[in-house]
């Protein structure tokens, strides 16, 4: 489950992240604290996206992404794994796999992650503030904030309605916080709910 907020381009996400982390530490969000020993992370990456279309096949659009730092995200298991630079990856996709490849504009991404844990339920959600800018046009920017359910410390099956209610409460608090910032101008972009729970087979 996740919520996304668009922020005004150029929003000071470092200051916003530090203020959010401080607010959680001080108990401003009732019943929640930063996750113990995992409260904050920083990511700074250069991203190269490729639009993929199998030669002669009609398939939904797919993408391969190289993120400097040794991470490659791809929708197919047979795509090249980490270690390929953008130029090399393009050659592998075209020559060895027969895919039609279109390079998308590369961009730089800065992201600050805050892990928020409920002291009542043990559910953990992430608050991610990120800023993306095109390498060729740094003035073209996207700033956003995402609230995402991550996991739970409980070993028992959790009630999805309970998770939804708690995420809604945190979302309302986060939205009020962001909209109160004069430089953020946040508005809700996307809301996604948990998938249906799978029924366990009898032993």
Q: Per-residue pLDDT tens for 154-164?
A: 776 677 788 88
pTM of the full structure: 0.74
Examine the pLDDT at 117 and tell me if it is beyond 80.
yes
Asked, for residue 185, whether it belongs to a domain, the answer is yes
Q: How far apart are the C-alpha atoms of 74 and 66, rounded to whole Å?
A: 9
Q: Which two tokens stand for residue 175?
A: 């939205």
Q: What is the pLDDT of residue 94?
A: 76
Q: Is the pLDDT of residue 77 over 80?
A: no
Q: Whose CA is closest to 79, among 59, 67, 94?
A: 94
For the record, the structure tokens of 182 come out as 């004069």
Distance CA 150, CA 101 (A): 33
Tell me if 198 is assigned to some domain. Answer: no
Q: What is the reported pLDDT for 65?
A: 58
Residues 72 and 168 in one domain: no
Q: How does the average pLDDT of the chain come out, rounded? A: 76
Task: Tell whether 76 and 139 lie within a shared domain.
Answer: no
DSSP string, 56-72: T-----EEEEEETTTEE
Query: Same structural domain for residues 70 and 130?
Result: no
* CA-based nearest residue to 149, from 110, 184, 176, 117: 117
Same domain, 73 and 124: no
Q: Are 115 and 29 part of one and the same domain?
A: yes
Q: Which of 88-92, 109-113, 195-199 has the lowest mean pLDDT?
A: 195-199
* C-alpha–C-alpha distance, residues 194 and 166, integer Å: 13
pLDDT at 71: 40
Q: Compute the average pLDDT of residues 94-113.
A: 83
Q: Is residue 162 part of a domain?
A: yes
**Residue 64 clears pLDDT 80, i.e. is over it:** no
Please check the confidence at residue 201 and state whether its pLDDT lies above 60: no
Asked if 150 contacts 177 with a C-beta cutoff of 8 angstroms, the reply is no
So what's the pLDDT on residue 111?
92
């Amino acid at each position: 489950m996740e919520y996304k907020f668009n922020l005004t381009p150029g929003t000071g996400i470092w200051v916003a992240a530090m203020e959010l982390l401080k607010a959680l530490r001080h108990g401003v969000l009732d019943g929640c604290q930063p996750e113990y020993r995992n409260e904050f992370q920083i990511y700074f990456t250069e991203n190269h996206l490729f639009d993929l279309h199998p030669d002669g096949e009609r398939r939904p659009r797919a993408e391969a992404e190289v993120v400097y730092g040794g991470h490659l995200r791809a929708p197919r298991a047979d795509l090249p794994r980490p270690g390929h630079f953008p130029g090399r990856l393009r050659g592998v996709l075209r020559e060895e796999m027969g895919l039609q490849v279109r390079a998308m504009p590369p961009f730089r991404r800065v992201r600050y992650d805050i892990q928020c844990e409920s002291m009542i339920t043990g559910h953990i959600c992430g608050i991610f503030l990120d800023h993306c800018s095109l390498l060729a046009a740094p003035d073209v920017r996207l700033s956003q904030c995402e609230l995402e359910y991550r996991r739970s410390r409980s070993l028992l099956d959790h009630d999805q309605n309970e998770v939804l209610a708690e995420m809604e409460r945190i979302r309302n608090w986060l939205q009020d916080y962001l909209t109160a910032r004069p430089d953020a101008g946040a508005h809700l972009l996307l809301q996604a709910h948990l998938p249906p729970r799978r029924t366990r087979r009898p032993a």
